[in-house]
Amino acid sequence: MTDLAYLIRSTAGALLLTATLTACDSSTNSTPASSSSDTPFAGNSTATDPAAAAERIAANPNTPDSLHLLSPGQAGRLRIKMSEKVLLARVPAEQLRKITRTVGDSTYPAYEMRDAQQPSAPATLLELAGNEQKGFRLRRIIITDPQYRTGEGIGVGSPFGVARQTFGLSRVRITPDGFAAVSRQTRMAWLLDENSLPAKHPNDMATAEIPTATRITGVIVY
C-alpha cells in the first residue's frame, strides 16, 4: 500500500470514529422531546385540586354538600335498611324526635329529624320497620327540605321536567303520600305539586302529560 493510500484510509477512519462518538454523546446528553411529559396531567391539575373543586361547587348553588346528597337508597349519611342503632349513633339525639306515622292502614315508628345547619328547615321523616325482638331498620326517608339534592342538583323545588329527562321517569300515580313518579333507578319517589295539574286528572298518568314546570314538593327515598 502506498503512503498516500494509507494516509487517505487513516484519515477517513478517524473522521468516521469522530462522527460516531459525537452522535453517541449527543444522544446521551440531549433532552428527549417527550421530557415535558414528566407531568403529563399538569394541564389538568385543577381536576384534583381541592380549591378548584370548591370553586366549582360554589359556582353551582344546586350542588349539595355530603350531608344533603341524595343517591340511590341514601340521603346524606342515612342509608335505607340501616339499623335504628346505627341511625342513633349517626344523628345527635337533640336533632331527633320520636313519633309514629300512619301510612294507609299501617302505623310505623319514626323520627322527625331537624337539620343542624338550618334548624328552621322542614323536618325530614325517618320511617322505621321491624319489631322489638329483631329490632327496627330504616324503611323510608321522606324529605321536603330543599337542601337535599341529587348530584345533578335535583330536589324539592326543581321542575319535574328536569327529573323526567334526567332519570327517564315514565309514569306518575297516586300514592299514600301524594301524586308521585317512582324511579327504580334512583330508588326514589318524586312527589309533585298537584295544584299545577288539571283538577280532575286521573290517578295514573304518563309523565309526558305532566307540565314540565310542575314543581317537585317532596322526595321519598326507599
- And the C-alpha cell for 189? 319517589
> What pLDDT does 60 receive?
54
Per DSSP, the residues of 186-214 read TTEEEEE-GGGS-TT--SEEEGGGS-TTP
- And the C-alpha cell for 126? 325517618
Q: Using CA atoms, how far apart are residues 182 and 170, in angstroms rounded to an integer?
A: 9
Helix (H, G, I), strand (E, B) or coil at 182: strand
Element (H, E) at 164: helix 160-167
> What pLDDT does 98 receive?
97
> What pLDDT does 197 receive?
87
- Residues of the chain with pLDDT below 70 are 1-61
> What pLDDT does 162 receive?
96
Indicate the length of the chain as a whole number.
222
Q: What is the 3-state secondary structure (H, E, C) of 53-65?
A: HHHHHHHCCCCCC
- CA distances to 71, 149, 169 from 164, rounded to whole Å, are 16, 15, 5
Q: Which domains does the chain have, with CATH numbers?
A: 66-221 (2.60.460.10)
> What pLDDT does 164 receive?
95
- The pLDDT tens digits for 43-55 are 223 333 444 434 4
Q: Using CA atoms, how far apart are residues 11 and 18, in angstroms rounded to an integer?
A: 11
> What pLDDT does 200 receive?
87
Is 134 within 8 Å of 145 (Cβ atoms)?
Answer: no
> What pLDDT does 61 receive?
60
- The pLDDT tens digits for 73-125 are 999 999 999 999 999 999 999 999 999 999 888 999 999 999 998 999 999 99
Task: Return the residue matching grid coordinates 444522544.
Answer: 27
Q: Using CA atoms, how far apart are residues 71 and 222, in angstroms rounded to an integer?
A: 11
